[in-house]
């Protein structure tokens, strides 16, 4: 009887497993294999084993003095910019997301669903369209500058388009809900009697925030940060449209190799590097969260 | 070359009417490049319905067709890719018993390098990649690539360059005194240094910027002639410059796929677009010339004498057909490109 139900579990779970294996591991395996091949003519790959793509991810043979091999400063600059912009996006989302989630969590229970629902409204519109809408807002002759000029607040249009500011604005806007939702989930479970207890013990508002609320909603912060950081690392549309393609992020660098660069193996190797960065972030996440629960288990 | 903006949907919607059709033909073409009126007319005359699917780069189109199972009948690649399509057997020779209008191809467009005698392809549209300038900001000679590569003070920080590696490289190499696809390292070193220092003065490398040029967000840039014309029709101050050191000419040609499901209908469509009146419809929509004899008289007034299409002979002579560079050259160029965009 017991073995029977065990078998049924496996049979029921197998379609999902199959989809996961085929849709996730399959393409990943192809990318991994491609990264060890040679570029084909006009795109594609040639089936000759080569580690050149991996070499070129990190090292650079000077174009004009081939015997001169250095670290690939171009790629490293792109990696660095990508990680830096993603970290900034995460911090901005956390700073904006915390008060938002707090606001929702402190509404009467029957109103919270409406506010949560409003948070998801941007997802109804395609990402590309929302990005172009931001472009219309912030370009030199766009809505914001026109309004400010008309009001006489500024004399010259503020240069916002095609800057890192524009990229950060776009990414923060797009990924903010991914921070608000887990933060809200954490606050929803927050026992407000603990906050009251803090005040009863003469803690200041700041002390309550610092020593009571923040530690309790920390899992929400961590989950939100991971949810924002990972898609930021792979962002493609936002840096291209709002950044104007002037400075690449990793997504654009990878796109270049599969398009005009016609170097699919290099693109595959770069995609694997992106994957490694994501895995490192996830491991970091797991270590923080398991340490938390591990500590609590130890005490009980 | 994504010279057609993002409005391809309009063309798509216009062609999906519920009309009884005797057959279909599936056209795989650049976005916002196919005149909806042209398709309506074709359907009315032949009863064959045309479905259009967009692509945004030669590489995308090639990769998708190589995969197979696509269901398309006609594709419209650029000159530098045409031979790859032919050599790989992805397209079939034209059926001259159906394509009876073959003789309408303008003589100068018949014996082209990429398809001598036009055995496989017919002209869709052709154009040039040059310089767009706002003449209210810059008063100097506009037929000069130096505007972009060594910009004067009034244009610094106001330049947009299309992110089209091969076009930008070609103009830069010509400006540095080399030939397209050169492996002359002295020239390429000059090109690299020039691009890296010029980029500091570029505001963006973006595609769909007709409106931004017209609105004055940019004051100069590397751009296609037809797109420049569309911008100029919105803002009279804009002008198209033909760099005298050299600039690329390109042509997109229609071809029938080897694994097409509707080969006969596809040939009928190919024949249809070689009628001067129909070719003119293509040009009136996207604002590029087409390479079909006699189509001029059916073109809009604004097209016939447009300075973006008709220029002084010495300016026209500086245009060069951009060949497809070898893998080795492409690799060198993309390394430089990465350094510029890092």
Q: Tell whether B20 and B113 lie within a shared domain.
A: yes
Q: Cβ B217–A161 below 8 Å, yes or no?
A: yes
* Model pLDDT, residue A292: 60
Q: Determine the structural domain holding residue B293 and report its residue range.
A: 8-126+250-304
Average pLDDT, stretch B65-86?
Answer: 93
User: Residue B23: what are its φ and ψ, rounded to 5°?
Assistant: -170, 180
- With cut-offs at 50, 70 and 90, classify the pLDDT of residue A141: confident
B334 CA to chain A: closest CA distance, Å? 5
Alpha-carbon distances, residue A94 vs A90, A164, A179, A215 (angstroms): 6, 19, 6, 15
- With cut-offs at 50, 70 and 90, classify the pLDDT of residue B214: very high
A43 contacts in chain B (CB < 8 Å): 59, 62-63
Query: Which of A126, A166, A261 best probes binding to B when mutated, by most B CB atoms within 10 angstroms?
Result: A261
Which chain A residue is nearest to residue B201, measuring alpha carbons? Answer: A246
Nearest Cα to Cα of residue B143 among B243, B74, B211, B276 = B243
Distance of CA B196 to the CA centre of its chain: 26
What number of C-beta contacts closer than 8 Å exist between A and B? Answer: 101
Q: Cβ B337–A140 below 8 Å, yes or no?
A: no
- The full DSSP string for B188-233 is HHHHHHHHHHHHTTEEE--S--HHHHHHTS-SEEEEEHHHHHHHHT
Which chain A residue is nearest to residue B337, measuring alpha carbons? Answer: A261
Mean pLDDT score of chain B, rounded to an integer?
90
* Model pLDDT, residue B19: 38
- Tokens matching residue B271: 């024949």
Q: Cβ A262–B334 below 8 Å, yes or no?
A: yes
Numbered residues of chain A with Cβ closer than 8 Å to any chain B Cβ: 39, 41-44, 60, 63-64, 73-75, 77-78, 139-141, 161-162, 241, 244-248, 252-253, 256-263
Quote the CA–CA distance of A71 and A81 in Å, as a whole number.
16
* Model pLDDT, residue A22: 87
Q: Tell whether B77 and B160 lie within a shared domain.
A: no
Nearest Cα to Cα of residue B125 among B299, B288, B275 = B288
Q: Tell whether B240 and B271 lie within a shared domain.
A: no
Compute and round to an integer the Cα radius of gyration of chain B.
20
* B54 Cβ contact partners less than 8 Å away, ≥ 6 residues apart: B8, B12, B29, B30, B31, B32
- Tokens matching residue A185: 């989930």
Q: Report the first-to-last Cα separation within chain B, whole angstroms.
A: 22
Quote the CA–CA distance of A238 and A249 in Å, as a whole number.
10
Mean pLDDT score of chain A, rounded to an integer?
89
Q: Cβ B338–A139 below 8 Å, yes or no?
A: no
Q: Tell whether B206 and B265 lie within a shared domain.
A: no
Residue pointed to by tokens 């930021």: A232
* Model pLDDT, residue A290: 75
B199 contacts in chain A (CB < 8 Å): 246
Task: Please state whether beta strands B121-134 and B238-241 pair in parallel, antiparallel, or not at all (unpaired).
Answer: antiparallel
* A102 Cβ contact partners less than 8 Å away, ≥ 6 residues apart: A187
- With cut-offs at 50, 70 and 90, classify the pLDDT of residue A1: low
Beta bridge partners of B161: B222
Quote the CA–CA distance of A209 and A194 in Å, as a whole number.
11
Quote the CA–CA distance of A267 and A34 in Å, as a whole number.
9
Q: Tell whether B286 and B322 lie within a shared domain.
A: no
* B117 Cβ contact partners less than 8 Å away, ≥ 6 residues apart: B110, B111
How would you classify residue B181: left for phi > 0, otherwise alpha for psi between -120 and 50, otherwise beta?
Answer: left
Quote the CA–CA distance of B333 and B329 in Å, as a whole number.
6
For domain A35-299, give the CATH number: 1.10.3720.10
Which chain A residue is nearest to residue B215, measuring alpha carbons? Answer: A141
Average pLDDT, stretch B105-123?
Answer: 95
- Tokens matching residue A169: 């604005």
pLDDT in tens, A234-292: 999 899 889 988 888 999 999 999 988 889 999 999 999 999 999 998 898 888 877 76
Average pLDDT, stretch B329-333?
Answer: 92
Tell whether B134 is covered by a domain.
yes
Residue pointed to by tokens 């079939």: B92
- With cut-offs at 50, 70 and 90, classify the pLDDT of residue A300: very low
- The full DSSP string for B279-338 is HHHHHHHH--B--BTT-GGGS-HHHHT-TTTS--HHHHTTEEEPPPPPHHHHHHHHHHHH
Tell whether the model's pLDDT for residue B101 goes beyond 90. Answer: yes
Which chain B residue is nearest to residue A56, measuring alpha carbons? Answer: B335
Average pLDDT, stretch A33-42?
Answer: 92
Interface predicted TM-score (ipTM) of this complex, two decimals: 0.83
CB-nearest to B217 from A41, A139, A258 is A139
Q: Cβ B324–A42 below 8 Å, yes or no?
A: yes
Q: Tell whether B230 and B333 lie within a shared domain.
A: yes
Tell whether B2 is covered by a domain.
no
- Tokens matching residue A240: 């291209």
Tell whether B312 is covered by a domain.
no
- Tokens matching residue B124: 């869709």
pLDDT in tens, A53-108: 999 999 988 888 888 899 999 999 999 999 999 999 999 999 999 999 999 999 99
Tell whether the model's pLDDT for residue B10 goes beyond 70. Answer: no
Q: Tell whether B29 and B92 lie within a shared domain.
A: yes
Q: Cβ A263–B334 below 8 Å, yes or no?
A: yes
Q: What is the CATH number of the domain that holds B193?
A: 3.40.190.10
User: Residue B42: what are its φ and ψ, rounded to 5°?
Assistant: -60, -45
A30 CA to chain B: closest CA distance, Å? 15
Q: Cβ B62–A140 below 8 Å, yes or no?
A: no
- Tokens matching residue B254: 């229609």
Q: Tell whether B299 and B337 lie within a shared domain.
A: no
A293 CA to chain B: closest CA distance, Å? 42
Which chain A residue is nearest to residue B192, measuring alpha carbons? Answer: A63
Tell whether B309 is covered by a domain.
no
CA angle A263, A266, A267 (to 5 degrees): 85
pLDDT in tens, B115-164: 999 999 999 999 999 999 999 999 999 999 999 999 999 999 999 999 88
Distance of CA A184 to the CA centre of its chain: 19
Coil, strand or helix: which one is B29?
strand
A143 contacts in chain B (CB < 8 Å): none
CB-nearest to A74 from B62, B324, B342 is B342
B215 contacts in chain A (CB < 8 Å): 139-141
A241 contacts in chain B (CB < 8 Å): 206
Tell whether the model's pLDDT for residue A130 goes beyond 80. Answer: yes
Tell whether B326 is covered by a domain.
yes
Q: Is B87 on the interface with A (CB under 8 A)?
A: no
Query: Which of A259, A269, A270 best probes binding to B when mutated, by most B CB atoms within 10 angstroms?
Result: A259
Alpha-carbon distances, residue B314 vs A13, A228, B243, B276 (angstroms): 72, 56, 11, 28
Counting the structural domains of chain B, the total is 2
B10 CA to chain A: closest CA distance, Å? 15
Nearest Cα to Cα of residue B169 among B188, B185, B142, B186 = B188
Cβ–Cβ < 8 Å for A143, A136: yes
- Tokens matching residue B119: 């055995």
* Host H or E run for residue B173: helix B165-175
Tell whether the model's pLDDT for residue B20 goes beyond 70. Answer: no
Q: Cβ A73–B204 below 8 Å, yes or no?
A: no
Domain ranges of chain A: 35-299
* Model pLDDT, residue A288: 81
């Amino acid at each position: 009887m017991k073995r029977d139900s065990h078998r049924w579990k496996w049979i029921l779970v197998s379609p999902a497993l199959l989809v996961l294996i085929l849709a996730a591991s399959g393409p990943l395996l192809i990318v991994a294999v491609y990264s060890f091949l040679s570029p084909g003519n006009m795109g594609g790959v040639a089936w000759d084993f080569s580690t050149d793509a991996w070499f070129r991810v990190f090292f650079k043979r000077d174009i004009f003095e081939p015997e001169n091999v250095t670290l690939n400063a171009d790629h490293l600059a792109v990696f660095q910019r990508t990680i830096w912009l993603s970290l900034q996006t995460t911090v901005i989302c956390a700073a904006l997301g915390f008060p938002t989630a707090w606001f929702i969590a402190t509404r009467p229970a029957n109103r919270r669903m409406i506010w949560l629902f409003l948070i998801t409204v941007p997802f109804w519109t395609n990402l590309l369209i929302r990005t172009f809408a931001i472009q219309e807002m912030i370009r030199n002759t766009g809505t914001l500058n026109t309004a400010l000029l008309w009001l006489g607040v500024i004399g010259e249009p503020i240069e916002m388009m095609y800057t890192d500011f524009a990229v950060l604005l776009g990414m923060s806007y797009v990924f903010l809900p991914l921070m608000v939702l887990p933060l809200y989930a954490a606050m929803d479970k927050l026992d407000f009697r603990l906050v009251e207890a803090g005040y009863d013990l003469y803690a200041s508002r700041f002390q309550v925030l610092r020593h009571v609320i923040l530690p309790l909603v920390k899992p929400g912060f961590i989950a939100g940060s991971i949810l924002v950081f990972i898609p930021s690392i792979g962002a493609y549309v936002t840096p291209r449209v709002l950044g104007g393609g002037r400075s690449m992020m990793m997504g654009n660098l990878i796109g270049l190799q599969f398009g005009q660069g016609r170097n699919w193996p290099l693109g595959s190797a770069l995609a694997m590097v992106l994957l490694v960065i994501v895995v490192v972030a996830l491991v970091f996440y797991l270590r923080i969260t398991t340490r938390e629960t591990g500590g609590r288990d130890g005490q009980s | 070359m994504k010279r057609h903006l993002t409005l391809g949907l309009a063309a798509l919607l216009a062609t999906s009417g519920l009309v009884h059709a005797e057959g279909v033909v599936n056209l795989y073409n650049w976005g916002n490049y196919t005149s909806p009126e042209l398709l309506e007319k074709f359907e009315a005359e032949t009863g064959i319905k045309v479905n259009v699917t967009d692509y945004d780069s030669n590489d995308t189109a090639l990769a998708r067709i190589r995969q197979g199972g696509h269901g398309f009948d006609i594709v419209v690649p650029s000159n530098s890719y045409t031979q790859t399509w032919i050599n790989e057997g992805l397209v079939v020779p034209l059926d001259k018993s159906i394509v009876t209008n073959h003789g309408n191809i303008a003589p100068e467009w018949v014996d082209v390098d990429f398809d001598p005698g036009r055995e496989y392809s017919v002209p869709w549209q052709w154009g040039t990649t040059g310089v767009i300038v706002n003449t209210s900001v810059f008063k100097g000679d506009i037929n000069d690539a130096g505007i972009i590569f060594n910009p004067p003070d009034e244009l610094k920080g106001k330049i947009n360059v299309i992110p089209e590696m091969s076009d930008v490289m070609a103009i830069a190499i010509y400006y540095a005194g080399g030939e397209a696809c050169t492996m002359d390292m002295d020239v390429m070193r000059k090109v690299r240094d020039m691009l890296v220092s010029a980029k500091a003065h570029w505001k963006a490398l973006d595609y769909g910027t007709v409106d931004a040029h017209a609105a004055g967000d940019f004051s100069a840039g590397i751009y296609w002639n037809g797109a420049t014309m569309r911008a100029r029709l919105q803002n009279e101050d804009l002008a198209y410059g033909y760099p005298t050191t050299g600039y690329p000419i390109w042509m997109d040609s229609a071809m029938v796929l080897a694994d097409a499901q509707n080969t006969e209908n596809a040939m009928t469509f190919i024949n249809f677009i070689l009628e001067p009146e129909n070719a003119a419809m293509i040009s009136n929509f996207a604002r590029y010339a087409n390479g079909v004899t006699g189509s001029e008289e059916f073109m809009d007034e604004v097209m016939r004498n447009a300075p973006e299409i008709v220029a002084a002979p010495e300016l026209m002579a500086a245009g060069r057909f951009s060949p497809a560079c070898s893998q080795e050259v492409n690799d060198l160029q993309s390394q430089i490109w990465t350094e510029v965009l890092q």
